[in-house]
Amino acid sequence: MVKTKLYIVLLFLSISAFGCAALMQMNMFPVDKDIELGKQFDGEIRGNTKEYPILKNRPEVKAYITNIGNKILASPDIVYRNQFAYQFEVIQDDETINAFCTPGGYVYVYTGLLKYLENEATLAGIIAHEIAHAERRHATNQITAQYGVQAVLELASGHIGETGTQIANVAAGLGFLKYSRTDEFEADAYSFKYLRATEYYPGAICYFFQKSSDGRQSSALETFFSTHPPANDRLANVTQMLKDVGNPKPTEANLFAKRYQQFKKGLP
Ligand SMILES: [Zn+2]
């Protein structure tokens, strides 16, 4: 059962779409279930210290990430600011360059990612992308589209019945661990929108796309590449968004590279 539950967590964190595009528009799942599920998964993650070793005793690291997250959450385009939990945690794993978010707003960032990035605005872009997955309710959308309301209710109730088990088995068997391409592009577009309301350069995630394209062979980026569309496609989209808003210029005043390098020095 523990294994089954873990697969379900993985499934929710990263789901691929093979469902009908029209169906994906509907989310018959009530918002308060996103909140319940998030709480449940957050508990699972915290309880699984082997898979998710949460950074302990370094409140300043968590505070730094939380501060960035809160700036993003202040954007007028955030809908569930008051309903979702919106918590930010760091997973101490230098071998993984990634971040993820459960339904209901529990955001996790790996130390591997923090060490990989060069400026604060890029980290903000990635955190905003994760927040967008929660805000747009991509996980429950996908589950609803693919497996129906019953499956989601089962998962939310914590009683994994026939449908829930079926989902878990499919997830485990196929190893499909990603959102749809459409959801990923939407998360990038919303991330851009959120960032425009902050002090950050909204196109900073492009630095990550560029750097990760150069490092394709890196095993630390394996999960990232298997769960996201090609960086070049995402780069092209964000470049277009920058053009649409008059090509703002990246400077130290909106990238915060110095402040970030200082922060990196203090990482365990
Ligand atoms: Zn994503």
Q: For the chain, percent helix, then strand, then coil, each to nearest 5?
A: 60, 5, 35
pLDDT band for position 21 (cuts 50, 70, 90): very low
- Rounded to the nearest integer, the mean pLDDT of the chain is 83
- The answer, yes or no, to whether residue 7 has pLDDT greater than 50, is no
Distance 130 CA to ligand 1 centre (A): 6
Section 81-85 average pLDDT: 97
Section 119-134 average pLDDT: 97
Lowest mean pLDDT across 11-20, 52-61, 89-98: 11-20
Minimal CA–CA distance to 188: which of 173, 160, 211, 208?
208
Distance 218 CA to ligand 1 centre (A): 19
Which structure tokens are listed for 78?
Answer: 């955030």
* Whole-angstrom distance, CA of residue 27 vs CA of residue 148: 9
In this prediction, residue 184 carries a pLDDT of 92
pLDDT band for position 214 (cuts 50, 70, 90): confident
Distance 247 CA to ligand 1 centre (A): 24
Section 73-87 average pLDDT: 97
The whole-model pTM stands at 0.85
